[in-house]
Amino acid sequence: MKNLLSRWLAAGAVTLALPAAVAAGASASTGASAAACTAGAACTKGAWQVMPFSGQTRASRAVLLYTGNVLLVAGSGDDIANFNAGRFRVAVYNPAKDTVTQVRTPADFDRSGEVQLPDGRVLIFGGNKAYPTATKGYEGLNTSYIFNPVTDKYQQVNDLIGGHWAPSATELGNGDVIALGGLDETSGGSVTMEYFKYAPGTKNDGQWLSAQQTNQDHVGWGLYRT
């Protein structure tokens, strides 16, 4: 779901795939039996519908929150003018109300990593430290935050061992998170393994472990989601 949303949000417009029965006007909320679908192939394959408003961000990723809202993560939106001006954007789309709310964003989360923790909050880490120049490519941030979908606010947690631009992340069965890959803070391929120890009831409900506490394999895992 997250990767699918990333593709259709990249242009900055909110779209929504509706089941064909809904698109045909059938409603289960009325208590009446659903009407027979007459939309052809869309009855079984679904259909895309472009919503009549903008997503207000050029999001590169999206997270479906437990509240039913969608977190649209843009940061600078792959726009160096936004980066230089410190304009970093994240928005929350409410599909029930068809509203998009801008959220004050502390860093450039463009190409950051996101994982939904067991309590429903979203761990956001890494991102864009600098845009490419004639001598180097993108550089990765080493900062990390937890987004609260109830208050729409961020809580900063401790830094990662190294920077990560376009990393991968996997949540383990106990709520811990392994993160790896992407570009580091020097624009090279990161070979640093990161481990977030989820600990409810402690400060920030967890922390990134140090290099001494993390098993390192010193392997480059590439960019994006591996």
DSSP-assigned letters across all residues of 119-144? TS-EEEE--EEE---SS---EEB--E
97 located within any domain: yes
226 located within any domain: no
* pLDDT given at position 225: 55
154 located within any domain: yes
* pLDDT given at position 75: 96
| Two tokens, residue 191 | 């070979």
Residue range(s) defining the domain that contains residue 162: 2-15+49-213
* pTM, rounded to two decimals: 0.80
User: Average pLDDT of 102-106?
Assistant: 92
**Number of independent structural domains in the chain:** 1
β strands within the chain, DSSP E: 13-18, 47-54, 61-64, 70-75, 89-94, 99-104, 113-116, 122-125, 128-130, 139-140, 144-148, 153-157, 168-171, 177-180, 194-198, 206-208
31 located within any domain: no
Q: Which of 93, 166, 156 is nearest to 127 (CA)?
A: 166
21 located within any domain: no
Q: Which of 50, 52, 55 is nearest to 12 (CA)?
A: 55
197 located within any domain: yes
User: Average pLDDT of 122-131?
Assistant: 97
Q: Is residue 127 over pLDDT 50?
A: yes
30 located within any domain: no
Sign for the pseudo-dihedral over CA of 13, 182, 224, 105: negative
* Alpha-helical segments (H) within the chain: 2-9, 20-23, 42-45, 80-85
Q: Is residue 124 over pLDDT 90?
A: yes
Q: Is residue 226 over pLDDT 70?
A: no
The DSSP 8-state label assigned to residue 25 in this structure reads T
27 located within any domain: no
* CATH number for 184: 2.120.10.80
* pLDDT given at position 15: 44
User: Average pLDDT of 1-15?
Assistant: 41
Per-residue pLDDT band at 184 (split at 50, 70, 90): very high
| Two tokens, residue 64 | 């479906």
34-43 long-range contacts, CB within 8 A, separation 24+: none
User: Average pLDDT of 103-117?
Assistant: 95
User: Average pLDDT of 61-88?
Assistant: 95
User: Average pLDDT of 73-79?
Assistant: 95
User: Average pLDDT of 137-154?
Assistant: 97
Per-residue pLDDT band at 138 (split at 50, 70, 90): very high
